Structure 1
Amino acid sequence: MSFRKITILVSSLFVGGVLLLLLVPSSSKNAAVPNSGKNVFSEGFSAFSNILNLGSFSSAQEEEGLIPASLLRNETPDNLYWIAVATPRDAAETKAQNELREDWAALYGKIYSGKATREEIVEYFTTQIKLHEDQLELLKIMEDRYPERLNDDSRRMILAGKDLYAKKLKNVKDEYEKHINQK
């Protein structure tokens, strides 16, 4: 995997973690809630959860978060974030998320090995563009509709996430143009 692709993957995980951190419940003032479920985002972003005074995700405590995930899910049911990035709520969602990621990885491999058809290139990149646009949409909704629920640190994280996803969206669109023009 190229350095650029690794950078994009790490960036995606970072912004996904930012989104997750904004959706998880608050912990006590000076202590982080222990990590009960092994979660890539909560483990990888424990420093951020300490900054934001957030604990680990728990569906039972979801409504105590800065902005409840269920509220955002109801507002954006077709948002690809819920399928591809958000912490699955049950085994069926976990299985579907893993299958989706495997499909994307297979398409990615075909594209970068030069074996993908034009249709596969379109399928992969239109989905990746939608994912980035949907993640930007969630950040914008949090910022625009729920400003009273956000502290200064959360606002800065949202702004950083919006900037990062706007750049990533541009990169994905550029990559799409490059690959589609080669076919």
Structure 2
Amino acid sequence: MSFKKITILVSSLLVAGILLLLLLPSSSKNAAVSNSGNSFFSEGFSAFSNILRSGSSSSSNEEEGLIPASLLRNETPDNLYWVAVATPRDAVEMKAQHELREDWAALYGKIYSNKATRKEIDEYYTAQIKLQEDQLELLKIMEDRYPERLNDDSRRMILAGKELYAKKLKDVKNEYEKHINQK
């Protein structure tokens, strides 16, 4: 695997981890952080725990400056993040997410073994571009519509996430162009 592919994979996993941490219920995050000791990841991403709160919003959540994931989900129902990355809410969502990821993995394998058709390359990269754009959209919505709910750490994390997703989007578009030019 080339250095560029490894870099893309690592950054994708990092960004997915960041968003997962954003959407985990706070009690799960606190347990995960306390069980992991003082690792780089638990300290580096602990600020995300206060940006979003899964479940219903309450006045105490609003007072703490949290953005309920359900609020964002209702505002962006067609956002690919909810299907592809977010922690599934039930078995149906879990199955759909698993199937989607399997389909993408199969397409990715075909692309990198030079067995994919032009249509398959388009299908895979169109979905990956939409996913990156949708994840950027969520961060922009949090920043633009709910600034009063964000503390300084949350704002910094959103900024870092936007920079990562913008880079990932650029990388995905470059990979798409490369594979289209090879066909």
User: TM bucket by the smaller chain?
Assistant: 0.7 to 0.9
Counterpart CA distance in 2 for 1:53 and 1:136 is 16
Counterpart CA distance in 1 for 2:48 and 2:160 is 18
User: Is there any run of 5+ residues in structure 1 with no aligned partner, and where?
Assistant: 36-42
TM-score normalized by the length of structure 2? 0.81
Q: Percent identity?
A: 77
Counterpart CA distance in 2 for 1:85 and 1:53 is 16
- Aligned position for 2:19: 19
User: Is there any run of 5+ residues in structure 2 with no aligned partner, and where?
Assistant: 33-38
Check the 8 A contact 2:54/2:70 in 1, yes or no: no
Structure 1 segment 88-103 matched on structure 2, within 5 A: 88-103=88-103
Q: Check if 1:46 corresponds to 2:33.
A: no
Runs of 4+ in 1 over 6 A off after TM superposition: none
Cα offsets for 1:73-107 (capped at 9, x unmatched): 00000000000000000111111111111110000
- Which of 23, 31, 34 is 1:34 aligned to? 31
The amino acid of 2:30's aligned partner reads V
Alignment coverage as a number of residue pairs:
171
**Structure 1 pair 60–144 and aligned structure 2 pair: CA distance change class (3 A):** closer
Structure 1 segment 118-133 matched on structure 2, within 5 A: 118-133=118-133
TM-score normalized by the length of structure 1? 0.81
Check the 8 A contact 1:23/1:62 in 2, yes or no: no
- Aligned-residue Cα RMSD (Å) equals 2.8
**Structure 1 pair 59–150 and aligned structure 2 pair: CA distance change class (3 A):** closer
The amino acid of 1:140's aligned partner reads K
Counterpart CA distance in 2 for 1:129 and 1:140 is 16
**How far 1:59 moved relative to its partner?**
5.1
